[in-house]
């Protein structure tokens, strides 16, 4: 079969899927305007802990697993965190031996024991998935994959499993993988998929954290609309500070912060490779004002054409985080209105409510250089 024929079949299948979704909504399916999601109540105020996202060592970890580099291994990364005095580590699923298959129980148990012995908490973990696509088989495989890793997270003692609601396919966007579909239709099936994962997470005590990544979730309104539609106590947003594509990403961070179940603290608020550094004091101020309690995983990223050494960059970025944490200790949480809830997106006024090119500011960043893991962390 020719590539053209295959593409025609995909487009036809995707279009039929969208018609079916639209019919389901019209017949009384779940609507984001009917659901609510309130900020997390944290009466004791903000309590923050440092953590490292393993993706900072992406290339070195991948090279080690392939037998083409000296490491560190994921286990040795625990030692690195202990030496720097991190409170926690996010051992991203990609770097476990054999991923996407689940790791052996013995490996998980040894990892957990090593972290415990060194006083390192497991702040979360994460997997890859594609929920924007109109291909139901791809989405179903993603749900099954997440469910399997929910159980791995539970064994690790990770409170949160990070998943995506953005397109994780090279050179693709949600519009190209869901041709003919409106934004509302795509959000509907993403919410259904995430909700199914959250139901499984509840059984094992693991929260499903949905991370913004600059495609389907470009703004706080996008992010909170989806979380509201999922409508589960076992699902919440993970704030990636480098992937809100708006005129004021700090405003987006502040809007989502009261609902956040975890964070990804990046060096720049406008994406990897930018010379614009994150204003750490401003960021920590809005985090404390939201009353967030928990880990703040930092993540440094390599960029094409620039020398990258995580052994050098991670300690420096950790020092920036600690300095900002110290400088903002006196900041108290802002009062939360009793009936405060995540705002609903209006499909009729959203400029990206159809499959036409998104007119909001910012474009999805290009993938990282080929010798690193895909730009999906």
The DSSP code for 233 is T
Best CA proximity match to 84, nearest among 114, 38, 118: 118
Per-residue confidence band for 305, with pLDDT thresholds at 50, 70 and 90: confident
Residues comprising the chain, all counted: 377
Per-residue confidence band for 179, with pLDDT thresholds at 50, 70 and 90: very high
Best CA proximity match to 102, nearest among 113, 110, 94: 94
User: What pLDDT, on a 0 to 100 scale, did the predictor assign at position 176?
Assistant: 97
User: What pLDDT, on a 0 to 100 scale, did the predictor assign at position 222?
Assistant: 98
Q: What residue has token string 């910012």?
A: 362
User: What pLDDT, on a 0 to 100 scale, did the predictor assign at position 368?
Assistant: 41
Q: Among the listed ranges 22-26, 53-57, 59-63, 206-210, which one has the minimum average pLDDT value?
A: 22-26
Report whether 231 contacts 254 (CB < 8 A). no
Backbone angles phi, psi at 353, to 5 degrees: -80, -5
Q: Distance between CA atoms of 257 and 264, rounded to whole angstroms? A: 12
Backbone angles phi, psi at 376, to 5 degrees: -135, 35
User: What pLDDT, on a 0 to 100 scale, did the predictor assign at position 374?
Assistant: 44
The DSSP code for 111 is H
**Average pLDDT rounded to a whole number, residues 107-121:** 98
Per-residue confidence band for 17, with pLDDT thresholds at 50, 70 and 90: low
Bridge partners (DSSP) listed for residue 239: 263
What angle (nearest 5°) sits at the alpha carbon of residue 146, between those of residues 143 and 151?
Answer: 130
First and final C-alpha spacing in the chain: 34
CA atoms within 13 A on the CB side of 190: 33
Contacts of 338 (CB under 8 A, 6+ apart): none
Q: Distance between CA atoms of 144 and 150, rounded to whole angstroms? A: 10
Best CA proximity match to 192, nearest among 52, 39, 29: 29
CA atoms within 13 A on the CB side of 95: 30
**Average pLDDT rounded to a whole number, residues 105-109:** 98
Torsion of CA 35, 145, 131, 138, to 10 degrees: -130
Which pair of structure tokens corresponds to residue 190? 């993403």
Taking the CB of residue 370, how many other CB atoms lie within 10 A of it? Answer: 7
User: What pLDDT, on a 0 to 100 scale, did the predictor assign at position 35?
Assistant: 38
Q: Distance between CA atoms of 337 and 341, rounded to whole angstroms? A: 9
**Average pLDDT rounded to a whole number, residues 252-266:** 98
Higher confidence at residue 153 or residue 306?
153
- Domain residue ranges in the chain: 45-327
Higher confidence at residue 26 or residue 42?
42
Bridge partners (DSSP) listed for residue 50: 296
DSSP assignments along 114-136, one per residue: HHHHTT-EE--EE-----SSS-H
Which pair of structure tokens corresponds to residue 187? 């959000």
Per-residue confidence band for 41, with pLDDT thresholds at 50, 70 and 90: confident
Q: Is the pLDDT of residue 371 over 60?
A: no
Q: Is the pLDDT of residue 158 over 60?
A: yes
Backbone angles phi, psi at 167, to 5 degrees: -70, 125
Contacts of 105 (CB under 8 A, 6+ apart): 155
Report the mean per-residue pLDDT for the chain. Answer: 86
pLDDT, tens digit (0-9, with 9 covering 90-100), for 246-256:
999 999 999 99
pLDDT, tens digit (0-9, with 9 covering 90-100), for 66-92:
999 999 999 999 999 999 999 999 999
Q: Is the pTM of this model over 0.75?
A: yes
Q: Is the pLDDT of residue 105 over 90?
A: yes
Higher confidence at residue 19 or residue 232?
232
User: What pLDDT, on a 0 to 100 scale, did the predictor assign at position 3?
Assistant: 46
Q: Distance between CA atoms of 56 and 61, rounded to whole angstroms? A: 9
**Average pLDDT rounded to a whole number, residues 101-117:** 98
pLDDT, tens digit (0-9, with 9 covering 90-100), for 314-357:
999 999 999 999 999 999 999 876 655 565 554 433 444 444 43
Q: Is the pLDDT of residue 365 over 70?
A: no
Report, at the CATH architecture level, how domain 45-327 is classified. Answer: Alpha-Beta Barrel (3.20)
234: cis peptide before it, omega within 30°?
no
Higher confidence at residue 198 or residue 33?
198
Per-residue confidence band for 9, with pLDDT thresholds at 50, 70 and 90: low
Taking the CB of residue 71, how many other CB atoms lie within 10 A of it? Answer: 14
């Amino acid at each position: 079969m020719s590539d053209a024929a295959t593409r025609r079949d995909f487009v036809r299948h995707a279009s039929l899927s969208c018609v079916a979704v639209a019919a389901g909504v019209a017949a009384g399916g779940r609507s984001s305007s009917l659901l609510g999601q309130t900020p997390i109540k944290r009466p004791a105020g903000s309590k923050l802990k440092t953590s490292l996202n393993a993706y900072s060592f992406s290339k070195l970890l991948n090279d080690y697993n392939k037998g083409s580099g000296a490491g560190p291994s994921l286990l040795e990364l625990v030692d690195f965190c202990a030496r720097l005095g991190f409170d926690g580590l996010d051992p991203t699923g990609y770097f476990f031996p054999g991923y996407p298959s689940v790791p052996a129980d013995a490996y998980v148990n040894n990892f957990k024991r090593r972290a415990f012995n060194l006083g390192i908490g497991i702040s979360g973990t994460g997997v890859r998935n594609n929920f924007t696509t109109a291909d139901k088989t791809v989405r179903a495989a993603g749900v099954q994959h997440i469910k399997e890793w929910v159980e791995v997270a539970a064994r690790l003692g990770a409170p949160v499993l990070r998943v995506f609601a953005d397109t994780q396919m090279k050179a693709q966007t949600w519009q190209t993988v869901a041709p003919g579909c409106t934004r509302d239709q795509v959000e509907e099936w993403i919410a259904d998929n995430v909700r199914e994962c959250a139901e499984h997470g509840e059984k094992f005590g693991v929260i499903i954290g949905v991370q913004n990544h600059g495609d389907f979730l470009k703004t706080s309104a996008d992010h909170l609309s989806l979380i509201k539609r999922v409508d589960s106590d076992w699902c919440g947003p993970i704030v990636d500070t480098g992937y809100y594509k708006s005129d004021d990403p700090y405003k987006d961070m502040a809007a989502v912060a009261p609902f956040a179940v975890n964070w990804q603290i990046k060096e720049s608020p406008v994406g990897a490779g930018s010379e614009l550094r994150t204003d750490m004091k401003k960021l920590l101020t809005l985090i404390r004002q939201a009353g967030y309690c928990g880990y703040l995983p930092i993540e440094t990223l390599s960029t094409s054409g620039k020398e990258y050494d995580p052994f050098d960059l991670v300690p420096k970025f950790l020092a920036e985080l600690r300095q900002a944490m110290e400088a903002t200790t006196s900041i108290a949480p802002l009062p939360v209105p009793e009936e405060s809830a995540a705002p609903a997106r209006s499909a009729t006024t959203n400029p990206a409510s159809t499959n036409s090119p998104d007119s909001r500011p910012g474009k999805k960043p290009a993938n990282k250089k080929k010798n690193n893991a895909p730009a999906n962390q």
